[in-house]
């Protein structure tokens, strides 16, 4: 346990990627996230990652307005929250600091 | 939600086996994406549609498995539905794999217009193997990180799942799979005849093999073979026993899954690797039994039940060893998270 607490905090790669994509492209559906990630996010896992981010309040979502004649189920649009943006900035700062430290 | 809407039926089925949280977060979005992708694939050919269909269902199964091993889900729904969900997810994955594998080679033979029917006819056979396997992997992986996974009480849920799977597999092995196999052979025969422009061949009914006979037909064939061709009787009796032993394997594999869970600890990879070894070992024992029947005078019943017997003995021994090694808890705090 001691070694774990002494190590640097880790940030799941996929969660970071989702935050970066939402910050870059704006609100998106889950399937759009899969498409713009160029294979880094999978259909089967993107909603699990989005769920974890929603638990942390870094992402929120709302149901798309659906036309009464539309077929299929309503989809959810996901967007990064202000807290998520701050986390992204903090991660960028940590990365920059670590990169400076290793020079 | 109406079942007539695209994806509505799948949603209705899953709403009975998942929590409302899982439904809202995982099931509805993935099915909504599947419906959108199916609509996009319309007009792009049957192969494309089948590919999108299979990919969407594998994605759903994967999402359910991934979601079910996350802590909030486990806290929300408890271990019983957790193990059931993992088993269900494994069943979906194995079924998709077992259906997709033969289709890759056959879609050119049977033609694009028959692919949907071929999938429907391959499903029972795939489920016959996927259900026992999913019990093993579902129990082995589903009990990971469960607080009570080292308690004897944990056995109730896997054995309950094994019992339900046994009944379903028994019905599949005796009634559904033979009928589906026979229909599949007719469809393939017709497709090949049509390709060869042989309309006269298309009306021929292929003779039923052992795997296409119902229970009653198999018994009648065994009685007939005792008089006409005694050398085939052993193989036929072996086939009859295998149908029941395959179903009972669900219970045996549930016990094996528990043994795997106890031996491998909390590591999912170790559990998966051990479960894979159990699968290979079980299949090897089954092949040995089948070889005995054709090359020696060993009883067909013994040959068919050897794999179950050996695996059951090993599983009970492993569980007993694990229980004897487990130290009594010193305090109320648990060793597992």
pLDDT along chain B (337 residues), means of 10: 61 74 83 85 80 84 74 53 84 88 72 77 89 92 64 67 90 90 83 68 68 87 86 89 93 92 84 93 93 88 93 90 63 39
**B65 min Cα distance to partner chain A (Å):** 9
Interchain CB distance below 8 Å, A71 and B5: yes
Cβ contacts of B108 within 8 Å, gap of 6 or more: none
| β-pair partners for A28 | A78
**ipTM greater than 0.90, yes or no?**
no
Rounded CA-CA distance A33/A80 in Å is 12
- CB contacts of A55 in chain B (<8 Å) are 72
- CB contacts of A68 in chain B (<8 Å) are none
Query: Which of B7, B37, B66 comes nearest A45 by C-beta?
Result: B66
Q: Which residue has the higher pLDDT, B229 or A19?
A: A19
CA angle B18-A61-B69, nearest 5°? 35
Instruction: Name the residue of chain A whose CA is nearest to B59's CA.
Output: A44
Q: Can you tell me which residue has the tokens 């049977």?
A: B110
CB B300 within 8 A of CB B293: yes
Q: What is the DSSP letter of A59?
A: E
Predicted local distance difference test score (pLDDT) of residue B336: 38
Instruction: Name the residue of chain A whose CA is nearest to B68's CA.
Output: A48
Predicted local distance difference test score (pLDDT) of residue B275: 94
**A28 min Cα distance to partner chain B (Å):** 13
Query: Which of B58, B61, B70 comes nearest A52 by C-beta?
Result: B70
Mutation target to probe the B interface, by most B beta carbons within 10 A, among A44, A50, A53, A62 is A44
CA dihedral A19, A20, A22, A26 (to 10 degrees): 150
Mean pLDDT of the region A29-44? 87
**A63 min Cα distance to partner chain B (Å):** 10
CB B38 within 8 A of CB B50: no
**How many helices (DSSP H) and strands (DSSP E) are in chain A?**
5, 3
Predicted local distance difference test score (pLDDT) of residue B330: 42
**Strands A76-80, A28-29: pairing kind:** antiparallel
Predicted local distance difference test score (pLDDT) of residue B203: 52
**B158 min Cα distance to partner chain A (Å):** 25
- CB contacts of B41 in chain A (<8 Å) are none
Predicted local distance difference test score (pLDDT) of residue B315: 92
CB B124 within 8 A of CB B172: yes
Rounded CA-CA distance B68/B74 in Å is 7
Predicted local distance difference test score (pLDDT) of residue B76: 45
Selected residues 21-80 of chain A with any CB under 8 Å from a CB in chain B: 29-31, 42-45, 47-48, 50-52, 54-55, 71-76
Interchain CB distance below 8 Å, B67 and A47: yes
Predicted local distance difference test score (pLDDT) of residue A21: 92
Interchain CB distance below 8 Å, A74 and B32: yes
* Backbone dihedral angles phi then psi of residue B327, each to the nearest 5 degrees: -75, 145
Checking if the pLDDT of A65 tops 80, the result is: no
């Amino acid at each position: 346990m001691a070694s774990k607490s002494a190590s640097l905090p880790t940030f799941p790669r996929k969660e970071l990627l989702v935050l970066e994509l939402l910050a870059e492209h704006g609100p998106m559906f889950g399937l759009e996230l899969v498409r713009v990630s160029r294979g880094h996010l999978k259909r089967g896992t993107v909603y699990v990652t989005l769920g974890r981010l929603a638990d942390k309040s870094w992402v929120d979502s709302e149901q798309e307005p659906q036309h009464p004649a539309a077929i299929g189920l309503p989809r959810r649009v996901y967007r990064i929250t202000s807290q998520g943006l701050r986390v992204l900035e903090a991660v960028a700062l940590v990365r920059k600091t670590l990169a400076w430290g290793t020079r | 939600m109406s079942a007539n809407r695209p994806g509505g039926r799948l949603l209705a089925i899953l709403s009975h086996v998942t929590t409302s949280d899982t439904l809202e977060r995982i099931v509805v979005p993935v099915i909504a994406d599947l419906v959108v992708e199916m609509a996009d694939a319309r007009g792009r050919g049957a192969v494309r549609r089948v590919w999108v269909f299979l990919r969407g269902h594998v994605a759903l199964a994967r999402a359910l498995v991934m979601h079910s091993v996350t802590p909030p889900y486990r806290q929300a729904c408890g271990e019983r539905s957790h193990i059931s969900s993992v088993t269900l997810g494994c069943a979906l994955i194995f079924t998709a794999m077992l259906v997709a594998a033969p289709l890759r080679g056959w879609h050119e033979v049977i033609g694009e217009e028959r692919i949907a029917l071929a999938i429907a006819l391959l499903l029972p056979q795939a489920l016959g193997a996927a259900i026992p396997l999913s019990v093993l992997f579902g129990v082995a992986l589903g009990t990971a990180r469960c607080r009570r996974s080292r308690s004897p009480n944990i056995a109730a849920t896997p054995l309950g799942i094994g019992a339900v799977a046994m009944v379903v597999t028994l019905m599949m092995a005796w009634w559904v799979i033979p009928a589906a196999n026979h229909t599949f052979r007719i469809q393939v025969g017709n497709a090949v005849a049509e390709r060869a422009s042989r309309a006269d061949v298309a009306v021929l009914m292929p003779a039923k093999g052992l795997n296409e006979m119902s229970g009653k037909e198999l018994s009648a064939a065994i009685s007939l073979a005792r008089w006409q061709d005694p050398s085939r009787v052993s193989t036929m009796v072996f086939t009859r026993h295998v149908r029941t032993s395959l179903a009972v394997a669900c219970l045996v594999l549930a016990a094996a899954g528990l043994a795997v869970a106890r031996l491998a600890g909390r590591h999912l990879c170790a559990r998966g690797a051990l479960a894979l070894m159990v699968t290979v070992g079980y299949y090897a024992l089954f092949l040995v039994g089948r070889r005995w029947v054709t090359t020696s005078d060993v009883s067909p019943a013994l040959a068919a039940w050897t794999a179950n017997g050996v695996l059951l003995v090993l599983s009970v021994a492993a569980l007993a060893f694990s229980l004897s090694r487990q130290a009594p808890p010193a305090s109320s705090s648990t060793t597992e998270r």
